Amino acid sequence: MSNQHEEHEASHKTPVRKEMSRRQFLTYTLGGATAFMAAGVTLPMVRFAVDPILQKKGEGAFVKVVEISKITSEPQEFTFELKQQDGWYLSTANLTAWVRKDESGKIYALSPICKHLGCTIGWNNDKNYPDEYHCPCHGAHYTKEGKQLAVASKPLDEYKVMLKDDWVYLGEIIPNTIVK
């Protein structure tokens, strides 16, 4: 009888709840609040640092430079402005290109930067090198396709060219694809 009574009592005992101490409560609360605030400060900073990397690079920006009808087989010099976004810094570069069309009518544009040490080349600017690009600094000279003939070890770079609505658009500078 007494055993039955004890069992009955045990089955009606309220379960013992583990009480959280005041110290634990404060520790958890303060820890959570601190982590929340730290995330609030840190996440924008991380995004600020990483955002330019995530953004697409200028999507190959092209600039309208000259009407197609003005391009001849003789190289002509054209200047244009290119807006460049570097992270949050927007700058404007004044660029020059030598543009011509070849015998098949293909239009291409060469960079005027000498591949020796970076001076500016000109077309037909030295009587010793007719119909060539010549660099006044150390005498490099190039064919009209930009192939190096002396001093420089590489051909002149090219601009990417896009033809649209009767206009020539120029994009980023790439290694020469016309000559080897």
Note the residues at the interface with ligand FES (CB under 6 A).
114, 116-119, 135, 137-140, 151
Q: C-beta of 122: minimal distance to ligand FES in Å?
A: 11
If 0-12 CB within 10 Å is exposed, 13-18 middle and 19+ buried, where does residue 152 land?
buried
CA Rg, the chain, in Å?
36
Q: Please report how close the Cβ of residue 48 comes to ligand FES at its closest, in angstroms.
A: 40
DSSP letter string over 130-169? TTSEE-TTT--EE-TT--EEES-SSPPPEEEEEEETTEEE
Supply angle C-alpha 57, 163, 169, rounded to 5: 50
**Number of C-beta neighbours around residue 106 at 10 A:** 10
Nearer to ligand FES, 115 or 144 (CB): 115
Cβ nearer to ligand FES, comparing 99 with 140: 140
Cβ closer to ligand FES: 119 or 179? 119
For ligand FES, the closer CB: 65 or 111? 111
Min dist. Cβ of residue 176 to ligand FES (A) = 16
Closest contact distance (angstroms) between CB of 150 and ligand FES is 8
